[in-house]
Amino acid sequence: MRVSLKVKFSLLITALLVLTVALVGFFLLQQQQQGLSEEMTKRGLTMAENLASGAKSSLLTNDHLNLNVLVRDALKDPDVAYVAITNPDGEILGHSDIGVIGRQIERPAGLAPAGNRLAINNYVTPDRTRIFDFSVPLSFSQVPLGALYLGFSDKSIAASLRQARNQALVVTVIMVLLGVAGAVGLATVLARPIRRLVAGTRSIAEGDFNVTLPVTSRDELGDLTHSFNEMARALREKEAIKRAFTRYVAREVVEEILKNPERLVLSGQRREVTVLFCDVRGFTPLAERLNPEEVVLLLNEFYNLMIETTFKHDGTLDKFLGDGVMCIFGAPIARTDHAMQAVRMALDMQAGIAELSARFVREGRTPIAVGIGVSAGEVVAGTVGSEDRMEYTAIGDSVNLAARLESNAKPGQILISERTFEMVKDRIDAKAMGGVRVKGKEEEVGVYEVMRLAGAA
């Protein structure tokens, strides 16, 4: 069962408070009981000595009446349970119960008759009353006269302890109630920033980095909240950099850089990729007829279409080339079907350009057309440049061939290399266009024009 931190704090503090109050109360009651017992012992001893002094005179003069007067006076103390005065033979001469006068003294179980010196004992009666028993030998000039027995009850002690116990219970209840209220308040204060941190963490997990929590204390929770805010700020800045960076380079490259920036090196690796070039046909004379604002608007609409189409097919937008773009498939993220991805993107580009041109016509603007070249092969792909300025790109014959195919493509044409055709021929409809001569190659390269996807109307 899930228990909130607030409840745990409250229960813990309450339990500690109850335990503390109980231990303190127990200790104080024990101290009070011990003090009362010592006080009663002193009182009983003083009374026993006074009675013994008076009883000696009466025993010497055989004044039994005075003995009973002494007994009666002693019984005025509510703590006195009994008084007995005997002769040397143990015969009772004075007693709190006049019915036993003349009998032999009977001591409680476990208590012996008075010896040669004063003895103090205690025992418990059947009704659970504790009795302090004082037995005092009576003598005159070393001649035994008898004995005095005085019993003190602890009823007054018990009553005092009950009263103290009740008072302690009331105080305990009050303190526990105050403690519970304080514990709940403290737990609430401690749990509130934790709940805020939990909510903030959930927001971060959902991608909302615009989270700033108030720092309400100067303790460990305050430090934790401050650290959370710093983390959120760092994530916010990283996300802002990522969004800004993806406007210029492919998001895959951005994520690779942000994932391990310390591993970014000025080196490349050989990769099997497909390169695509796309260029607006007749852009130079078109730009001469338009004012600068119209040229920028046209390029932005063209670039938006190119970027959306590239990312839709998981391509890497390598660079803008004036009125054209260069895209790579299979780097930096390796793809097994990179050639087919590039062909699908080329077809989507042509369809997108057709829709864009139709809109331009409706708006009274000049339509545009593009030529596209696609070439698959091995390249060196990686980060090139300097420590201050670098970019991710691909270098190799396939790049040159794709650029040459794009320059040879007529408006609306998609030209692919023979190697590319071999990789996708089962999934497209294409027609052979002969060969083209590429700089650096002695033989012509076979070229095919992509018409549509296989089975498409």
Q: Is the pLDDT of residue 241 over 80?
A: no
Q: Is the pLDDT of residue 232 over 50?
A: yes
Cα separation, 89 vs 72, in Å, equals 23
Q: Is the pLDDT of residue 368 over 80?
A: yes
Q: What is the mean pLDDT of residues 362-374?
A: 93
66-121 pLDDT, tens per residue?
888 888 888 888 888 888 888 888 888 888 888 888 888 888 877 888 888 888 88
- Does residue 329 or residue 20 have the better pLDDT? 329
pLDDT at 236: 82
What are the structural domains of the chain?
5-159 (3.30.450.20), 262-453 (3.30.70.1230)
Cα separation, 65 vs 109, in Å, equals 29
Coarse DSSP helix, strand, coil percentages of the chain, rounded to the nearest 5 percent: 50, 25, 25
% pLDDT > 90, the chain: 23
pLDDT at 113: 82
The CA-atom distances, in angstroms, between 259 and each of 106, 253, 273, 380 are 99, 10, 23, 22
Q: What is the mean pLDDT of residues 268-280?
A: 91
Q: Which H or E run includes 352?
A: helix 338-362
285-307 pLDDT, tens per residue?
888 888 988 899 999 999 999 98
Q: Which H or E run includes 284?
A: helix 283-289
Interhelix angle 155-205/5-60, rounded to 10 degrees, is 170
Name beta bridge partners: 95: 84
pLDDT at 266: 45
The pTM (predicted TM-score) of the whole model is: 0.51
Report DSSP state, residue 249. S
Instruction: Report which listed range, 146-155, 241-250, 263-272, 445-454, is most confident.
Output: 445-454
177-207 pLDDT, tens per residue?
877 777 777 777 777 777 788 888 888 888 7
Residue showing tokens 């930096």: 332
